[in-house]
């Protein structure tokens, strides 16, 4: 009897397109915090006004499942320390938008910087075809070291017994009430303890013991580790721990700090996806999660690694960047400043739960109707076919999702008069490859961009508008200029 070994079967990642040079942030605060200039190396990512932990998680899941429905996920673990809802299951929204099906079990993870490693352990400890996604946008006060160093992003893994690209061959965990930072309910940003104390009493004393226990359980010596992953907002921590463990310097994984900043609880999965994108069969990965204790996992890369490709991959999402030169855009999107948007912004926004429920397939799944008689695809689906030569009843329609469909701009308008948090508002008709046509908002457009008729676009799940009275974001699909659309290439 052949025993099937469960492991990681796929990975995906997402980093917001918007980036800002860390020097730009430091210069904005040079009048009162000149020391920030010395820490400002590289660029950091930040969310557009219509992005949050849910929308980033959806993009990471879609990256890990290039063909919707092919992964047959039955359980979804979704984690963040910045979920938009305290009492509404965020993972259910992620599953709906990512097209995972109504029979998928969903569970929210929260409140821990090591939810990535804890989530991997939980996903491997049961038989279901499961998925883990962690999405985060840590918040920091203006002029703090964290504002310069933080970023945003999401990482996703799929698990199963077929097509396994990495197996777990050892692990160890401990619980320790060591607080390096804390954010109480309702707080806008984290409170950090002194950096030297966190490094010397936290990382350097707690991590090595657990990491060595994990290596011992796997039969791997520290010098045999190919990739060492230790996500941290503090620079130099991974190198110091690696030296103490005896891990070779060249095994230390790219921290990604210079390319996107520290993406909070999601950063471990981002780093792991980056490692797997370059890994070779036989590589050994030591991954550590730190926060009120420690998890250490030892992974072995299999021959299947060369057969897997994400939809885009880490290299592509990091390269797909829009560089913002003004600190004020970051300040506005993070809520540090509140611009006067004028009377046009003062319209009431209230969601109707009954209509959201009835139209969930169209709103979240972006499902259109395909006429069974003439093949016309229409969104939204009407009682009869819109083809004037057909008019077949909706009973003859089948459902097709527009989310994975490619398209191109058919018409385009840059509207400076309507209220929009990222003016101008770009809207236009999008012609889909399957024949559908739809008036859509076009997001993540650079100010000097030449979006025009014929520009290729892909679909993204974003916030449509926000009910400030009820703190309720409404979501829908938008188009965005399609760049770096192909999967990553292995070196």
The verdict on 208 and 285 lying in the same domain is yes
Question: Would residue 13 count as lying in a domain?
Answer: yes
Same domain, 355 and 290: no
Do residue 12 and residue 141 come from a single domain? yes
% residues pLDDT > 70 (the chain): 95
Q: Are residues 19 and 162 in the same domain?
A: yes
For residue 328, what pLDDT is reported? 94
Residues 301, 434, single domain; the answer is: no
- Cis before residue 468, ω within 30 degrees of 0? no
pTM of the model: 0.93
pLDDT given at position 1: 39
The distance from CA 192 to its chain's CA centroid, rounded to whole angstroms, is 24
pLDDT value at position 213? Answer: 96
Using the 3D structure, point to which of 309, 333, 357 is the last residue of a domain. 333
Q: What pLDDT shows up at residue 192?
A: 87
Q: pLDDT averaged over the chain?
A: 90
Residue owning tokens 């619980």: 175
The phi, psi pair for 334, rounded to 5°, reads -85, -5
Does any domain span residue 388?
no
Shared domain check, 359 and 297: no
Residue 352 within any structural domain of the chain: yes
pLDDT-derived band of residue 5, with 50, 70 and 90 as boundaries?
A: confident
- Strand partners of residue 85: none
The per-residue pLDDT for range 109-137, each reduced to its tens digit, is 999 999 999 999 999 988 778 999 999 99
The end-to-end CA distance of the chain, in Å, is 37
Taking Cα atoms as reference points, which of 146, 138, 163, 102 lies closest to residue 360? Answer: 102
Contact 190, 179 (CB under 8 A): no
Give the torsion sign (CA, 328, 331, 334, 338).
negative
Q: What is the pLDDT of residue 142?
A: 93
Residues 383/395, Cβ–Cβ less than 8 Å: no
Q: Where among 292, 309, 333 does a domain terminate? A: 333
If asked whether residues 212 and 154 sit together in one domain, one would say: yes
Residue 382 has pLDDT above 90, yes or no: no
Q: Any alpha helices (H) in 224-283, and if so which ranges?
A: 237-245, 257-260, 267-278
Instruction: Tell me how far apart the alpha carbons of residues 282 and 225 are, in angstroms, rounded to a whole number.
Output: 11
317, 353: one domain: no
Q: What's the rounded mean pLDDT across residues 314-331?
A: 94
Residues 201 and 235 in one domain: yes
Note whether residue 488 is domain-resident. no
pLDDT of residue 187: 85
Q: Within this chain, do residues 361 and 319 fall inside the same structural domain, yes or no?
A: no
Note the pLDDT tens digit of each residue in 135-171: 999 999 999 999 999 999 999 999 999 999 999 999 9
Residue tagged 């695809």 (tokens): 377
Please state whether the peptide bond connecting residue 424 to the residue before it is cis, i.e. omega within 30 degrees of 0: yes
Distance of CA 335 to the CA centre of its chain: 20
The answer to whether residue 21 sits within a structural domain is: yes
User: Could you give the CA distance from residue 286 to residue 215 in angstroms, rounded to a whole number?
Assistant: 8
Pairwise CA distance, residues 162 & 77, whole Å: 20
Let me know: does 297 contact 117? Beta carbons within 8 Å. Answer: yes
- Three-state secondary-structure class, residue 157: strand
Arithmetic mean of pLDDT, 358-373: 89
pLDDT, residue 415, reads 92
pLDDT interval class at 65 (50, 70, 90) = confident
Q: How far apart are CA 3 and CA 99, in angstroms?
A: 31
pLDDT at 25 over 90: yes
Tokens 């657990």 belong to: 210
Of 59-73, 103-117, 318-332, minimum mean pLDDT range: 59-73
Q: Give the pLDDT mean for 201-205.
A: 91
Domain-located, residue 41: yes
Whether pLDDT at 263 is above 80: yes
**What is the pLDDT, as a whole number, of residue 71?**
54
Across the range 416-443, mean pLDDT stands at: 93
- In whole angstroms, give the CA distance from residue 442 to residue 461: 11
Domain boundary among 279, 314, 333: 333
Opening angle at CA 228, ends 226 and 230, nearest 5 = 170
Q: How far is it, in rounded angstroms, from Cα 27 to Cα 21?
A: 10
Q: Which residues 6+ apart lie within 8 Å of 54 measured at CB?
A: 83, 84, 90, 93, 94, 97, 135, 461, 475
Q: Tell me whether residue 389 is in a domain.
A: no
Strands across the sheet with 18-21, in order? 43-45, 18-21, 322-324
| For residue 295, pLDDT beyond 90 | yes
Which residue has 């259109």 as its token pair?
368
- Split at pLDDT 50, 70, 90, the class of 67 is low
Give φ, ψ of 362 to 5 degrees: -85, -40
How many structural domains are present in the chain? Answer: 2
Arithmetic mean of pLDDT, 256-261: 95
Largest CA distance in the chain: 75
Whether 13 and 93 share a structural domain: yes
Could you list the residue range(s) of the whole structural domain that residue 310 is in? 7-333
Q: What is the CATH number of the domain that holds 227?
A: 3.40.47.10
Q: Is residue 295 situated within a structural domain? A: yes
Contact (Cβ atoms closer than 8 angstroms) between residue 133 and residue 13:
no
Q: 100 and 207, same structural domain?
A: yes
């Amino acid at each position: 009897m052949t025993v099937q070994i469960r492991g990681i079967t796929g990975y995906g990642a997402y980093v917001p397109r918007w980036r800002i040079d860390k020097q730009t942030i430091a210069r904005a605060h040079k009048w009162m915090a000149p020391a920030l200039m010395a820490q400002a190396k590289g660029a950091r990512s930040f969310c557009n006004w219509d992005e949050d932990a849910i929308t980033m998680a959806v993009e990471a899941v879609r990256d890990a499942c290039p063909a919707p429905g092919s992964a047959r996920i039955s359980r979804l673990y979704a984690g963040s320390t910045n979920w938009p809802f305290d009492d509404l299951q965020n993972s259910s929204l992620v599953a709906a938008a990512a097209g995972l099906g109504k029979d998928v079990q969903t569970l929210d993870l929260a409140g821990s910087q090591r939810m990535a490693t804890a989530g991997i352990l939980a996903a491997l400890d049961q038989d279901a075809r499961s998925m883990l996604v962690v999405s985060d946008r840590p918040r920091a006060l203006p002029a703090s070291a964290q504002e310069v160093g933080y970023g945003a992003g999401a990482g996703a893994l799929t698990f199963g017994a077929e097509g396994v690209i990495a197996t777990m061959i050892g692990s160890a965990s401990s619980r320790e009430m060591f607080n390096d930072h804390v954010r109480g309910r309702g707080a806008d940003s984290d409170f950090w303890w002194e950096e030297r104390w966190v490094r010397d009493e936290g990382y350097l004393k707690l991590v090595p013991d657990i990491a060595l226990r994990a290596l011992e359980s796997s039969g791997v010596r520290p010098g045999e580790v190919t990739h060492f992953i230790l996500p941290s907002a503090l620079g130099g921590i991974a190198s110091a721990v690696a030296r103490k463990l005896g891990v070779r310097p060249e095994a230390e994984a790219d921290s990604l700090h210079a390319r996107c900043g520290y993406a909070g609880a999601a950063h471990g999965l981002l780093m792991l996806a980056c490692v797997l994108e370059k890994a070779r069969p036989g590589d050994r990965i030591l991954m550590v999660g730190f926060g009120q204790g420690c998890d250490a996992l030892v992974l072995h890369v299999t021959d299947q690694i060369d057969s897997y490709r994400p939809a885009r991959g880490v290299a592509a999402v990091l390269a797909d960047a829009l560089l913002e030169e003004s600190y004020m855009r970051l300040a506005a999107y993070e809520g540090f400043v509140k611009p006067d948007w004028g009377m046009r912004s003062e319209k009431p926004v209230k969601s109707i739960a009954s209509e959201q429920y009835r139209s969930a397939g169209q709103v979240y799944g972006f499902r259109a109707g395909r006429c069974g008689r003439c093949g016309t695809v229409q969104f939204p689906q009407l009682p009869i076919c819109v083809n004037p030569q057909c008019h077949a009843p909706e009973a003859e329609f089948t459902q097709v999702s527009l989310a994975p469909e490619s398209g191109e701009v058919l018409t385009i308008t840059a509207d400076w008069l309507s209220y929009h948090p990222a003016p101008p508002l770009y809207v236009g008709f999008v012609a889909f490859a399957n024949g559908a046509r739809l008036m859509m908002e076009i997001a993540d457009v650079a100010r000097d961009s030449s979006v025009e008729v014929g520009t290729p676009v892909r679909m993204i799940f974003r916030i449509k508008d926000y009910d400030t009275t009820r703190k309720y974001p409404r979501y829908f699909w938008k188009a965005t200029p399609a760049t770096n659309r192909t999967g990553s290439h292995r070196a």
